[in-house]
Amino acid sequence: MIDRRTLLKFSMIGLIVATLPSRLWADATRGMAESALIYITPLKQDGRESSCQAEVWFQLHDGAMYVVTSNKAWRAIAVGKGLTSARVWVGDVGQWKSSDGKYKALPVVTTQANIVGDKAVQTGVLDKMGRKYPGEWSTWGPRFNNGLADGSRVMLRYTPV
């Protein structure tokens, strides 16, 4: 028989656990408003982080993070192989290799990744990226647009879980 105190304790634990992903996402989205970068690593099937990690440009759009990358980049290859879980840290501490792991102290969220083929979504995300990265967009905008058109680049959506 469970007493009221035990029932209340487990109810509170359940409530905290249930709201944890949304709280982590809220922390991450606050960081996204201030940061030009996110740090990504795919998660292996056993949940361990891949050794492939990087800092990348991103755009928040319709509740997810979007990244444009080469179709030969490990990010795209991982998703193509079905490794769709990824860990994302939000902030900017420079290049991940020279950060001494500082990016791992940033707000973090676990995500599911998928490749985005919808041209309307791609256009909407790229328009926002152009406003977010105006100094670099004259170079990178055409590369992203042309790469998405010819298949040499893919757009990845990272949705929090």
Could you identify the residue written with the tokens 């599911």? Answer: 112
pLDDT of residue 7: 39
| Distance from the Cα of residue 89 to its chain's centroid | 7
Q: Residues in the chain, how many?
A: 161
Per-residue pLDDT tens digits for 129-143: 999 999 999 999 999
Angle at 101 between CA 125 and CA 81, to 5 degrees: 50
pLDDT of residue 14: 40
Domain count, the chain: 1
Per-residue pLDDT tens digits for 43-55: 988 988 887 777 8
What is the Cβ-side half-sphere exposure of residue 79, based on CA atoms within 13 angstroms?
23
Domain region containing 68: 4-160
Q: Where are the alpha helices (DSSP H) in 4-157?
A: 4-32, 74-80, 119-132, 134-150
pTM comes to 0.78
Question: The CATH number of the domain where 152 resides is what?
Answer: 2.30.110.10
pLDDT of residue 161: 87
